[in-house]
Each structure stands twice: as C-alpha cells, then as structure tokens.
A = this chain, B = another copy of it.
Amino acid sequence: MVPAPLLSPGYHPLIRKLESIFPLNDEERQALQDLPMQVAALKEDQDIVREGDRPSRSFAILSGFTCTYKMTGDGKRQIVTFSIAGDMPDLQSLHLKVLDISVATLTPCTVGFIQHEALWDLCTRHPRIAAAFWRECLVEGAIFREWVLNVGRREAYHRMAHILCELLVRLRVVGLAEDHACELPITQVEFADALGITAVHVNRVMQQLRADGLIKSNGSRLSIPDWERLKEAGDFDLTYLHLRRDEAAA
C-alpha cells in the first residue's frame, strides 16, 4: 500500500519532520512507520481539502509542495503557509471538526491519508507522539504568527526575502535543499498570494533581490549567493521555527 522507498527507515518524511522538532525513540519511530496510510498521487493545482469540509482523516505530504489558503468574500486568496514533505497541513482536523482552510497542491504530490481513528489510537498508545503532534501544531502556529508580522509590518522587498529564508531552512530540515540552493516550484502569483501583494510587484521585488545579488534563480531553481545578506534583508531569525538543535544552523 505504501511505496517501499518511503518506508525505508530514516526516509519516512513524516518521521524526519517530527524528529526535527521532537526526539523520537525506536519504538515510536516504528509505530509511525506502521501507521496505516492510504497513499495517493495527486496532480498539481488540486484541492486536497476545502474550507468547510469535515474530514475523517488527515494527511501527510510525502512529496511535492502544497499551500494552505483562505479566500475573502470577494474572491481574493491569501496563502497562509506552504507545506512540504513531512508536513501535515490539516492535522488540526483531528480536533477541529470543520476546516477553516483549504489545502491545494502546487506541484504533483504524493500524500498519505491517515484515518483520525488511527491517529487517536497512536496518540493513546504513545503519549510522546501525541506530544510531538501537539508540538507540531504549535510550531505551525508560530509560523502563522511570523507571517502576520511579515505581512503586517515589512515592506514587500523584505517580506519576499523573509519567506525565501523560511522556505530554504524548512526544505533543508527535511533534506530537500543543499546549503544555499533548492528547487522551489512556486510561481510569482503564488508568492503574491502568500505575501499579500500583487504578482506584478512580486516580479519587481524579485528583480531587485536579483540585482542586489541576494538570490539567483533559473526556472524553479533558487540559489542564494549571500545567505547572510538575504537573512538580514528578510529580518530573518529562525527561532520561530523551533527546530531542535539548530538543524539548519544557518
């Protein structure tokens, strides 16, 4: 039911992610490994869950990128977070019956659906895993807070720099980025919806970042020639990601 490479010890994205914020023992890793999961391959630009849904399962992203978004009444979209391998963007539905967000794929994705019952069972049997999930929800909350700050109080140029820093660090944590480069298949329209600006302005700001030598990009490949200066431009301090040892040192 689950493709072999995803299950080989040390490669399960969910485990890798959880371990980035919480230390697990062998037994707990095994329990996660054994979690019954219905794996699905999804195309890009597809909603996985929608605002108003009452899901009976959550899902973990095994590969690909998703965004979590909300819409205003007049149809404007705000992306509130991006998610990557190991993330469980609707874990909250375990406790909150009605979803207040939608999650959509940005790229083709592999996701693993896990019945809430199975998660409850796991949490009961392994209270430390329950704590790890709770903790993961809290880290997610911390990211939202930082985004409120980012959107509320930083200019577009710095906002963009900040989000790039966050994405690079988070990708590094799950092994999807080298030191200062990564694959980042996010369009300018998507960045616009995440930063609360227009796509036109994203374009201008990215050009400025390029001109200033803070980033380079060809196609969906991003590389960062001067991490220190990008961090500074983005006013980026990774405390809010609450990583264990400073995984990504950065």
Binding site for B on A (CB under 8 A): 51-52, 68, 70, 72-74, 76-78, 80, 92, 95-96, 98, 100-101, 124, 127, 130-131, 134-135, 137-142, 144-149, 151-154, 195-196, 235, 239-240, 242
Determine whether the beta carbon of B148 is less than 8 Å from that of A80: yes
Determine whether the beta carbon of A196 is less than 8 Å from that of B140: no
Q: Contacts A141-B141, A242-B100: A95 and B153 contacting too (C-beta < 8 A)?
A: no
Determine whether the beta carbon of B139 is less than 8 Å from that of A96: yes
Cross-chain contact of A145 among B80, B153, B242 (Cβ < 8 A)? B80
For the complex with contacts A70-B145, A76-B153, A98-B242, 12 further pairs of A-B residues with Cβ separation under 8 Å are A68-B145, A70-B149, A74-B235, A78-B153, A80-B149, A100-B145, A137-B138, A137-B141, A144-B147, A151-B152, A152-B195, A153-B196
Q: Contacts A98-B242, A134-B95: A196 and B141 contacting too (C-beta < 8 A)?
A: no
Cross-chain contact of A78 among B95, B144, B149, B239 (Cβ < 8 A)? B149
Q: How many Å lie between the Cα of A163 and that of B80 in the bound state?
A: 18
- Pairs across A and B, CB under 8 Å, 10 listed: A92-B138, A96-B139, A96-B242, A98-B242, A100-B142, A100-B146, A124-B127, A130-B130, A140-B141, A151-B152
Cross-chain contact of A151 among B51, B196, B242 (Cβ < 8 A)? B196
Q: Which residues of B contact A134 (CB under 8 A)?
A: 95, 134, 137
Oligomer: number of copies:
2
Cβ of A244 to closest chain B Cβ, rounded Å: 10
Q: How many Å lie between the Cα of A95 and that of B134 in the bound state?
A: 8
Q: Contacts A76-B153, A134-B137, A153-B77: A145 and B101 contacting too (C-beta < 8 A)?
A: yes
Q: How many Å lie between the Cα of A196 and that of B130 in the bound state?
A: 35
- Ranked nearest first, the 5 interchain pairs of A and B with the lowest CB-CB distance are A152-B196, A144-B144, A141-B141, A100-B240, A78-B149
